[in-house]
């Protein structure tokens, strides 16, 4: 993912509310399954880490990203944003800016 695409996703996420919260139970298989379902429908989601969760938000983001095969867009404080395009191209509703050419 390019920085331009990441910036675009960040701008979309600014106005979003969190759809999940990670609490003292941390990340469970049930939560990963639910996040996976929501990512398939929404493509871009925001997750809050509650005060009673002792885990590092950056580590949680990496773990959730791996388990859901989603891209970690950003982690700011205790808020995390994830992106994964829908598997069915017809159900995709977020179109990323083109990747463009890489500098040589």
The domains of the chain are located at 3-85
CA-to-CA separations, 58 to 27, 28, 41, in angstroms, rounded: 13, 17, 24
> What pTM was estimated for this model as a whole?
0.89
For 3-85, CATH gives: 3.30.110.60
Coil, strand, or helix at residue 17? coil
Give per-residue pLDDT as tens, 19-69. 999 998 888 999 999 999 999 999 999 999 999 988 999 999 999 999 999
- Across 33-97, where does the E strand assignment appear? 44-49, 71-76, 79-83
Is the Cα torsion angle 3, 7, 9, 14 positive or negative in sign?
Answer: positive
Whether the CB-CB separation of 74 and 80 falls below 8 Å is answered with yes
């Amino acid at each position: 993912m390019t920085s331009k695409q990441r910036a675009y996703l960040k701008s979309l996420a600014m106005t979003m509310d969190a759809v999940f919260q990670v609490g003292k139970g941390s990340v469970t298989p049930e939560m990963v399954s639910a996040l996976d379902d929501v990512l398939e429908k929404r493509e871009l989601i925001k997750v809050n880490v509650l005060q009673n969760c002792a885990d590092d938000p950056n580590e949680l983001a990496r773990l959730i990203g791996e388990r859901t095969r989603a891209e970690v867009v950003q982690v700011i404080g205790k808020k995390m944003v994830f992106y994964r395009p829908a598997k069915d191209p017809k159900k995709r509703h977020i179109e990323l800016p083109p990747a463009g050419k890489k500098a040589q």
